[in-house]
Structure 1
Amino acid sequence: MGKKRVTSHDVAKLAGVSRSVVSAVLNNTPGIGVSVETRETVLAAIQELNYHVDAQARSMKTGRSMTLAAYGDTRHPLFMRLLEGMQRECEARGYHILLCSPGHRQTGEGRDELLGLYHQRKIDGIVTLDSTSYRNEEWAAKVKESGVPYVSVEGYAGTGGIFSVLADYKGSVEMALDYLYAGKTSITEAPVYADVFHHSTAGQAIWAEENRKNAYTEWCLKHGMQPVISRHEEREGRVDWLEWLRDLQSDGGTLPPVLVNWSSAVPDLYRAAHRLGLRIGDQLRIMAADNTIQGHRLSLPSLSCVEIPYVGMGEEAVRCVLNQLEQGPGTERPAKLWLPAILRPGESA
């Protein structure tokens, strides 16, 4: 036979207090005052008896599972950074994370399973990492009908009725360009915006990318410069920059600064510059409008970039879900929370 399970009654008996006091210590119950000495006595009894809270019993009593669902693709580096922030905030709040992935299914499928978990009281809320253009009206309607506390990270940017945590892409580009031209008032030539795209998304209007390009164009015009946008296709994870750089170099004079929308395309640009004998940070100044691959630490010379704050977005998403949980459905108007980018100064610009 197995060892008899330790209960809160055993803890109370050893500590010489009532079970309600043990519960107050475990749950930080408001309205029940527990002295420092009593709390320490209870905690010592818990440690001595190796007592563990019965999660199922607590769930039945409080109606909470103390678990949030995180929905996204674990193969995606942005989702892993989001999870870092979610984990940090969940640990501080006494919550766990349940990973839910679309797997091989198409984007949007499998989400009904999340609602099933909520109705079964296995999760208390949902955070999804979506594409910046995501706005599935059917899913939004199901979320509203179910009453589940929910936050979309990056999705529903222009759609009301859904809580969203979003990155300020416009501000990120302005931050990058201001950094490129800081203290260089004599420069009148516009930076080149290198718009890298994947062949599978060619022709699609992606909200974040359009936002970046519009911000670049507005910044150039504001500073009396003619915008120059150059398109570059990524195939099988590589971008061929060599001929483009050679043409840029053949125009003569000083090469303009280059702002690349994806940091993942920068290593290939570094290689092309090296083949042409261009010194990065001197003859060719480069900056990235994101930091997906942590380029400021992995490249040489170190990459100057602005970082989309996915860790912070994960933290804010958890706070937003738990705020909904505390306040109850319909008590707070769904809002959009915009987080600023983080400047990562380097040697390349």
Structure 2
Amino acid sequence: MGKKRVTSFDVAKRAGVSRSVVSAVLNDTPGIGVGAETREAVLEAIRELNYHVDAGARSMKTGRSMTLAAFGDTRHPLFTRLLEGMQRECEISGYHILLCSPRHKGNAGGRAELLELYHQRKIDGIVTLDHTSYCDEEWAGKIDAAGIPYVSVEGYAEVPGVYSVLADYSGSVETALNYLLREGTPQELAPVYAEVYQGDSADNWAERNRRDAYTSWCRAHGMKPSMVRMEELQGEWTACLQNLADAGRPLPPLLVNWSSAIPDLYRAAHRLGLRIGEDLRVMAADNTIQGHRLSLPSLSCVEIPYVSMGEEAVRCLLKQMNGGNEAALADKIWLPAILRAGESA
């Protein structure tokens, strides 16, 4: 037979107090004053008896599971970084994370299970990592109808009323361009913006914001915008660099939208005898694959702060759950990109 489980009644008996006092100590219940000596007696009894809170009983009493669902592709490095931030904030708040992934192609698969988990009181809120143009009205409607605390990371950027944590993509381009043309660097040529795309990715909200920010920055600085586009993994960098070269003039600084395109660019520059950081100054506007750690010379870039976005997503969920003033809780939280200065620019 298993050993009898220690209960709060046992703790109260050992400490010589009532169970309500034990509960007040465990839950830090507001409005119930517990003296320092009494509190220490309860804590000492907990240690001596090796007492652990019954999570199921607490859930029945509080109506909370102390678990949040994180939905995304577990194979994607960005989801891993988001989880790092969520875990940090959850540890502070005493929450656990339940991982959920799409069960079939597309971001819609698996979301129905999230609704069921909430109704079964197995989770208290949901965070999803979405692509930057995600705005499924049906999903948002179901979340709203069920009253589920919910935050989309990267999704619903242009949809009011849905809580989102978003990266400031416009600001990231401005940060990169300001660094490229910082004081003490050659400024006779306007930076060229290179957009590398996969399929229809060039049409998403983030890419549109980057393009618009680049154009606006150039015009504000009296420079003519110059953009090139190419499909990823199609070996177009050599021709691109040759086209940018002007006899007797240096190559212009190059801002690339994704760091995942940088290895191919470096290889093309090497084939043409161009030295990165000297003959060709390069920067990435999105450090998707941690390119500043993998490239040689080290890549200058701006990084989308997925760890911080995970932290903010949890904070936003907790504010929703704790019944904060919804009018004071912004439905869009914008985070700036992080500058990573390297040797390439």
Which of 203, 206, 213 aligns to 1:205? It is 203
2:213 is equivalent to residue 215 of structure 1: yes
Contact 2:69 2:99 in 1 (8 A): yes
Give the Cα separation in 2 of the matches to 1:40 and 1:230. 68
How far is the alpha carbon of 1:243 from its aligned partner? Answer: 2.5
Q: CA deviation at 1:314?
A: 0.6
Q: Normalising by the residue count of structure 2, what TM-score does the alignment of the two structures yield?
A: 0.95
Distance 1:125 1:174 in 2: 35
Identity of aligned residues (%): 71
Alignment correspondent of 1:72: 72
* CA-CA distance at 1:332 after TM superposition: 5.9
**Amino acid across the alignment from 1:60:** M
2:314 is the alignment partner of 1:318 = yes
| 1:333 to partner: Cα distance | 6.1
Deviations 1:34-66 (A, max 9, x none): 233333332232222221111110000000000
Q: Deviations over 1:270-290 (max 9, x none)?
A: 122222222211111111101
Number of corresponding residues: 345
Counterpart in the other structure of 1:165 = 165
SS at match of 1:327: coil
* Aligned equivalents of 2:327, 2:301: Cα separation in 1: 40
Letter of the 1:210 counterpart:
R
1:186: Cα distance to partner? 6.3
The one-letter amino acid of 1:299's match is S
Q: CA RMSD in A?
A: 1.9
Alignment partners' CA distance in 2, 1:123 and 1:135 = 23
CA–CA separation in structure 2 for the residues paired with 1:17 and 1:239: 75
Larger mean CA deviation between 87-96 and 294-303 belongs to 294-303
- State the distance in 1 between where 2:324 and 2:207 align: 36
CA distance in 1, matches of 2:247, 2:84: 46
Equivalent residue number for residue 275 of structure 2: 279
Closer, same or farther: CA 3–186 of 1 in aligned 2, 3 Å: closer
2:32 and 2:315 map into 1 onto residues whose CA distance is: 26
* Aligned partner (choices 256, 262, 269) of residue 266 of structure 1: 262
Q: 5+ unaligned residues in a row in structure 2: which ranges? A: none
What is the CA distance between 1:232 and its match in structure 2? 1.6
Give the TM-score of the pair, scaled to structure 1. Answer: 0.94
Distance in 2 between residues matched to 1:106 and 1:186, nearest whole Å: 45
Unmatched 5+ residue regions in structure 1?
none
Q: Secondary structure at the match of 2:145?
A: helix
Residue deviations 1:209-240 (CA, integer Å, cap 9, x gap): 111011001101111111111112113xx754
Q: How does 1:78-97 map to 2 (within 5 A)?
A: 78-97=78-97
Q: How do 1:1-349 and structure 2 match up within 5 A?
A: 1-184=1-184, 187-198=187-198, 200-201=199-200, 205-235=203-233, 239-249=235-245, 251-327=247-323, 335-349=331-345
- Deviation sequence 1:142-193 (CA, Å, 0-9, x none): 1110000111111111111211111110011000000110115862311111
- Post-superposition Cα deviations, 1:68-99, rounded to whole Å, max 9, x if no partner, equal 11111111111111111111000100001111
CA distance in 1, matches of 2:197, 2:59: 47
Contact 1:69 1:127 (C-alpha < 8 Å) held by counterparts: yes
Please give the secondary structure, in 1, of the residue aligned with 2:118. helix
Amino acid at match of 2:37: E
Instruction: Tell me if the contact between 1:118 and 1:148 (Cα under 8 Å) persists in the aligned partners.
Output: yes
Matching residue's letter, 2:133? S
